[in-house]
Amino acid sequence: MDNAEHDIRILVETSAKGDAEGFKRLYDHLIDQVFGYLRYRTATKEVAEDLAQDVFVGLYQALPSFTYRSRVEFYAFVFTIVRRTLARHYGNKHTQANQVRADIDGDLLGDSDTASEGGDIERALATLEPLTREVVILHHWSGYTFKEIGAMLHLTEAAARVRHHRAVDTMRTYFNQS
């Protein structure tokens, strides 16, 4: 077991026992990945922040029933909470009536000069099959490895890699035609 794996295991186990400092460190470890994914999937930064808070409340409540086996399984567990939180959010009739796909803005891309490209990226992503789009989003916006993505989406690591490779080719073709 490598040091990162061991550290995450300790954080999960101490957090499950109610250790506030351990949970804060676990939050610090996960927030960028969770927020990046939620930001892509929601209409505004504020909605993503609210949903991230809901995800971590859900994680805190669910940790005592989670048995840690590996970092990959833990990330899949967290992603399940993220997906359920999004499903509840979009299941709300008010939200559903006003559902807007998030534009990829300068904050998300990290460069305000590329904000105008956000619509093009959004359209290119829309050409992908939904599961393949999830692979791309989880890899590029949340920074998960293909092994972690595979566990989250019930794919093998190789299948996640192949989907990503094909998606990049599809998007490259889309941009070359534009």
Q: Write out pLDDT tens, residues 17-52.
A: 999 999 999 999 999 999 999 998 888 999 999 999
More confident residue, 109 or 154: 154
Q: Residue 100 pLDDT more than 50?
A: no
Q: Which of 46, 37, 36, 41 is nearest to 100 (CA)?
A: 41
Q: Residue 110 pLDDT more than 70?
A: no
Quick one: pLDDT band at residue 175, thresholds 50, 70, 90? Answer: confident
Q: Are residues 90 and 123 in the same domain?
A: no
Q: Please compute the mean of the pLDDT values over residues 143-152 and round it to a whole number.
A: 91
**Average pLDDT, rounded, for the chain:** 84
The C-alpha torsion from 154 through 160 and 163 to 167, rounded to 10°, is: 120
Is 108 inside a domain boundary?
no
Q: Which of 142, 121, 136, 127 is nearest to 52 (CA)?
A: 142
Distance of alpha carbon 32 from alpha carbon 110, whole angstroms: 13
Q: Are residues 13 and 91 in the same domain?
A: yes
Name the H helices within the chain: 3-16, 20-41, 45-62, 71-91, 93-97, 106-109, 118-126, 130-140, 146-153, 157-177
Q: What is the CATH number of the domain that holds 165?
A: 1.10.10.10
Q: Are residues 7 and 77 in the same domain?
A: yes
Q: Are residues 133 and 177 in the same domain?
A: yes
Q: What is the CATH number of the domain that holds 53?
A: 1.10.1740.10
Reading the block at residue 57, the tokens are: 């409340």
At residue 163, the pLDDT reads: 96
- Amino acid 161 reads R
CA angle 143, 147, 150 (to 5 degrees): 95
Number of folded domains that form the chain: 2
At residue 173, the pLDDT reads: 87
Q: Are residues 91 and 162 in the same domain?
A: no
Among the candidates 102, 131, 151, a domain finishes at 102
Is 112 inside a domain boundary?
no
- Amino acid 101 reads R
Q: In sequence order, which residues have a C-beta less than 8 Å from that of residue 62 and are 6 or more positions away?
A: 77, 81
Q: Residue 162 pLDDT more than 70?
A: yes
Measured in degrees and rounded to the nearest 5, phi and psi for residue 149 equal -60, -40
Q: Are residues 70 and 12 in the same domain?
A: yes
| 66-95 pLDDT tens trace | 999 999 999 999 999 999 999 999 886 444
The DSSP secondary-structure symbol of 92 reads S
The answer to whether 95 touches 87, Cβ cutoff 8 Å, is: no
Is 107 inside a domain boundary?
no
Find tokens 């008010």 and name the residue: 94
Distance of alpha carbon 178 from alpha carbon 155, whole angstroms: 32
Is 177 inside a domain boundary?
yes
Q: Are residues 73 and 159 in the same domain?
A: no
Q: Are residues 37 and 63 in the same domain?
A: yes
Domain residues for the domain of 129 are: 117-178
